[in-house]
Amino acid sequence: MLVCVACHSELDVSEDRLDCRACGASYPVHPSYIAMRDEREAEREPQTWQAKAQEEREYAEIAERLARAGVERFATHLNFGYVPNGRPQRAVIEPEAHGLNRNSLRLLLEVVGDADLRGRDVVDIGCGRGGNSAALVRYFQPRLLVGLDLCEANIAFCSARNRLPQVSYLVGDAERLPFAEESFEVALNIESAHAYPHRERFYREVCRILRPGGVLLYTELMLAEEARHHLRMLEEAGLLIERDEDMTANVLLSCDENARQRTGQQGIAAVSGTLGVSTGTDSTSTPSAITDIGDFIALPGSRKYEEMRRGERVYRMMKLVKPD
């Protein structure tokens, strides 16, 4: 299934690395995961590489601060979440009434809807801290699931927690997926593509790795004026839009509900140290890679939250299909 991200050629396997037979790219093998990024991109596309490096630093900092606060095992979801508001729902499963990360689970279940994942090969692109990957296995029983994320700290965390034989995790770039053509029947991408410098590459890559009839389950917060452009790029990549819904109102309700938990003493905003909340765990003055954690998680009053409220940004939830 794994191929060179640069040229899609076969890889030779050794104890500590994978080597491309065609172009010479090399990928390190760590004890619990493989890092499938072509570091030569730093020379070929330095601006793109730096943009991705900044994104990785932000998530690595979050991972470090969660670990220092002793709450990392609870913080497996960072998405905005979903709260019903009376409109018809797609989810066919209801999460536990008082479970952790309930709104985030609701978002996952809503985007999956009635899609059949049982016995399927699934890839979670931008898997973050693994919450969605674990929930997919729990609720939908895929045959195998691969989680991929740009941030090595996220993948190290996921791999250390993973006890499921059908699940594996990789460091990788969504714009340069390390999989052979037609490797998967289902791809999941939740609130990740906004960080991709060349989103059209991601769309093409997803279409390449999906089998005919395969589906992309996709959510993203995007500028309202750019939504039509993104739909066109998806279609140009070869994907058919089966479902496209505006879930902004549901996401705002979730942001309202999440605010108290996420700004509390053990919440992500507090442990990130950027809201003036002391946790007693970090006395250093190292500059933060995250300029505004409130905006990062769309707390009420943040720029991102207010743009959603005013309709300048829209949260779209989609199901797309690769034609047979």
Per-residue pLDDT tens digits for 123-159: 999 999 999 999 999 999 999 999 999 999 999 999 9
What is the C-alpha separation between 151 and 11, in angstroms, rounded?
Answer: 23
If you average pLDDT over every residue of the chain, what do you get? Answer: 90
29: Cβ contacts below 8 Å, ≥ 6 apart? 14, 15, 16, 17, 18
What is the C-alpha separation between 239 and 121, in angstroms, rounded?
Answer: 18
Q: What is the token pair recorded at 106? A: 């609701």
Parallel, antiparallel, or unpaired for β 121-125 and 313-321?
unpaired
pLDDT bracket for residue 274 (50, 70, 90):
very low
pLDDT score, position 241: 97
pLDDT of 30 > 80? The answer is: yes
Parallel, antiparallel, or unpaired for β 210-223 and 184-190?
parallel
Cβ-contact 227, 233 below 8 angstroms: no
Mean pLDDT score, 197-226: 97
Its pTM stands at: 0.91
Q: What is the DSSP letter of 75?
A: -
Mean pLDDT score, 173-182: 98
Q: What is the token pair recorded at 308? A: 């959603």
Helix (H) or strand (E) holding 149: strand 144-149
Q: Give the 3-state secondary structure of residue 148.
A: strand
What is the C-alpha separation between 2 and 178, in angstroms, rounded?
Answer: 6
> Tokens 């059209």 appear where?
200
Mean pLDDT score, 31-40: 94
pLDDT of 26 > 70? The answer is: yes
pLDDT score, position 281: 41
Cβ-contact 112, 91 below 8 angstroms: yes
pLDDT digits (tens, 9 = 90+) for 42-88: 999 999 999 999 999 999 998 888 888 888 888 888 899 999 998 89
Tell me the H-state helices in the chain.
41-44, 46-69, 102-112, 131-140, 152-161, 199-209, 227-236, 248-263, 268-271, 293-296, 303-309
pLDDT score, position 260: 77
- Where residue 301 falls (left for φ over 0; alpha for ψ -120 to 50; beta otherwise) is left
Q: What is the token pair recorded at 128? A: 């973050």
What is the C-alpha separation between 219 and 24, in angstroms, rounded?
Answer: 36
255: Cβ contacts below 8 Å, ≥ 6 apart? 80, 81, 297, 298, 299, 300, 305, 308
What is the C-alpha separation between 148 and 55, in angstroms, rounded?
Answer: 15
Question: Topology of domain 34-250+308-321, per CATH?
Answer: Rossmann fold (3.40.50)
Mean pLDDT score, 90-117: 91
pLDDT of 279 > 80? The answer is: no
Q: What is the token pair recorded at 273? A: 């140290």
pLDDT score, position 219: 98
pLDDT score, position 277: 35
pLDDT score, position 280: 40
pLDDT bracket for residue 289 (50, 70, 90):
low
pLDDT score, position 273: 54
Q: Minimum mean pLDDT among 109-113, 142-146, 274-278, 294-298: which range?
A: 274-278
Q: Where are the domains of the chain?
A: 1-30, 34-250+308-321
State the virtual CA torsion across 13, 208, 159, 133 in degrees, nearest 10: -160
